Structure 1
Amino acid sequence: MIEKKCYCGSKKSFQECCEPFINGTQKVPTALALMQSRYSAYATLQADYILATTHISERNCHSKSEILHWATSNQWLKLEIINATENMVEFKAYFLDSKLQKQIHHELSTFKLENGSWFYVDGQFFT
C-alpha cells in the first residue's frame, strides 16, 4: 500500500503526520503543528476538528456547516509556511475555488496554549 503524503506538505505520510492529531490519538505539540493539522483537516473535511481546535472565545463565530461548505467548495492544493513563531504562523494556502480558479488564502494566524492544548484564536488576512 502506498502511503499518501500529508496534506500539510511535510515529507511524512498523512498517517505519521497530521492524522494522529486530527483523530485525537496524539496531542498537538506546537502552534505550527496545529496550523498544519487544521489545513489537513480542511483537506479531509474534518469540520469537528476545526471547531474543537478553535479557541472557545471564537468558537461561536464558526459553524460546522460553514466549515464543511468552505472545505468542500475548494480543492486544496498546497500549504506554504512563510514564518512561524511560538504562537503565530504566517501561511499561504493554495486552492482551486468552485469555479476551478486558482486562489491563495494568505493569513497570519494567532494561537494560544491553554491547559496544555493549542487553539487557533484568529487571523489577519492579506490580499
Structure 2
Amino acid sequence: MTPDFCPCQSGRTYDDCCGPLLAGARTATTAEELMRSRYTAFARGDADHLLRTWAPATRPEPLDLDDGLAWRRLQVLETTAGGPGDEEGWVRFIAHYRSGTDRGTLSEHSHFVRLRGSWYYLDGEIG
C-alpha cells in the first residue's frame, strides 16, 4: 500500500502532517504549519477547518468553497516570523489549481496572528 502523502507537499503523510490539524486533534505550532493545513483544507474541501482557523475579526460567514477548483500544488516561497515564540507571522506562497481544463495560480502573502495561544489566519495580500 502506498502512503497517502499530504496535499501541502511537505513530503510527509497526511496522517503525520495536516491530518491531526484538520481533525482538531492539535493546533499548529507555527504560522507556516497553519498555512499548509489551510491549503490542505482547501484541497480537501474542509470548510470547518478553514473557519475554525480564521481570526474572528476577518472570518467570513458563510464560507463557500468552489467545488470546481482542484488544488494541485503548493510552493512556500518565504516565511517571516510566525514561530513558536512569535505573535504574528507572514507566509508568501503560490498555490496551483485546475478548473476544468484551465490551470492557474493563486499568489498570496498571508498574515497570521496568535490569539489565546493558537495561530489564526488574519488576512492576505493577493499577488
- TM-score normalized by structure 1? 0.90
Using the alignment, how far apart are the partners of 1:85 and 1:62 within structure 2?
29
Larger strand proportion of the pair:
2
- Per-residue CA deviations over 1:11-42 (Å, capped at 9, x if unaligned) read 10001000101101112100000000000011
Listed as ranges, the matches of 1:1-127 within 5 Å are 1-59=1-59, 61-64=60-63, 66=64, 68=65, 70=66, 72-86=67-81, 87-97=89-99, 99-126=100-127
User: How many residues matched?
Assistant: 120
**Over aligned residues, Cα RMSD in angstroms?**
1.0
Using the alignment, how far apart are the partners of 2:11 and 2:50 within structure 1?
23
Percent identity for Structure 1 against Structure 2: 32
> Which segments of 5 or more consecutive residues in structure 1 lack a partner in the other structure?
none
> Which segments of 5 or more consecutive residues in structure 2 lack a partner in the other structure?
82-88
Q: 1:119 to 1:6 in 2, by over 3 A?
A: same
The 4+ residue runs of structure 1 with deviation greater than 6 A are none
Q: 1:93 to 1:62 in 2, by over 3 A?
A: farther
Larger helix proportion of the pair:
1
User: How far off is 1:2 after superposition?
Assistant: 2.2
One-letter code aligned to 1:25:
A
- Per-residue CA deviations over 1:94-121 (Å, capped at 9, x if unaligned) read 0002x32110000000000011100000
- Per-residue CA deviations over 1:68-100 (Å, capped at 9, x if unaligned) read 3x2x21111100001011200000000002x32
